[in-house]
Amino acid sequence: METTKKKLKVFITVDTEVWEFYGDIEANVSSGLWGITNEGEFGLKYQLDLLAHHHLKATFFVDPFFSYHSGIEPLEAAIKCINSHNQEVGLHVHTEWLDGLKTSPFNLDIIHRNIGDFDLDSQQKLIKQALGIIENIDNTKICSFRAGNYGANNDTLTALNHLGITFDTTYNASYLGQPCNINDDNIISSPRLINGTVEVPVTQFTDYPSHKRHLQLSACSFYEIRDVLEANWQANQYSCVIVMHSFEWIKRKNKVHSVDHICKKRFLKLCEYLSKNRDKFETLAFSDVDIEESIRKQEKFVAKSKASSTFVRLYEQLLRKVLN
């Protein structure tokens, strides 16, 4: 008797951050948050409008610490923009932004690159501060977290639990030990309760023998993403987590911002595909998740992409280098 297939829960996760590409905070905000280019604006607002057009849900993991350099206004604008589109705000933390502050809100001897490099007490203080900054804007409530650079450990999950943040989606097997140090008995391929926090791993797949790749828009062809979604649905898995950034298809060269049309087209195709296949897939916010259902034990499963889909990606990446 064939098992009835449930809809695969798809989490589109957008790290919404200002990357310190220049020593110019305004240029960083312009490219990192808003994606302002010589062809128009293709960052956060563009992504939100496209998701709304296709009636898809996503979680935007917002890093508030850049606001210590830019002022609070860009952060407020970003959060209000996300909320006005009825999408979920998650918490993202890049502790690199704390280095070099003239007046620091923290009494720390060393500023580490990753939240997981701090001791438990310091992690809890840092996350609590970041949480407070965001929740003081537009009555925003946070239930999900991702560490910058995937740089968390098990203490991070303990800290999140203490602070009432239910979900973490930092675990990325491609970065284990460098710098993702969330450990469990086995490689995590489905949601798992660890230290009181539900860990929802970034989805992995095999693109060629003995090699794993994580499901990030700029690192996969659309056809690889489609293969992975289809395979996880066929295997009756609980979820897939897709990673992207607010600047995912913004090219930056000599302070000139332009659009990576190949990467942008992947997002357009993904939105169209998910919209047309609602019988198989449903996009969710983490606040929609039934915790008991999510952590129900599943057999380990890692999808494999088709060789033709990976060949498309290799061709696209070569073309992107030529066009850059």
What does the pLDDT look like over 139-178, one tens digit per residue? 999 999 999 999 999 999 999 999 999 999 999 999 999 8
Domains of the chain as residue ranges with CATH: 8-323 (3.20.20.370)
Beta bridge partners of residue 15, listed in sequence order: 61, 245
Q: Which residues contact 100 (CB under 8 A, 6 or more apart)?
A: none
Residue 217's pLDDT is: 97
Percent of the chain topping pLDDT 70: 99
187 phi and psi angles, rounded to 5 deg: -60, 135
**Radius of gyration over every alpha carbon of the chain, rounded to an integer in angstroms:** 19
The Cα 250–Cα 37 span in angstroms is 8
Tell me the pLDDT tens digit for each residue of 196-221: 999 999 999 999 988 999 999 999 99
Residue 1's pLDDT is: 42
For residue 21, pLDDT over 80 is answered with no
Mean pLDDT of 86-106: 89
Residue 3's pLDDT is: 59
Residue 185 pLDDT grade (very low, low, confident, very high; cuts 50, 70, 90): confident
Beta bridge partners of residue 205, listed in sequence order: 213, 303
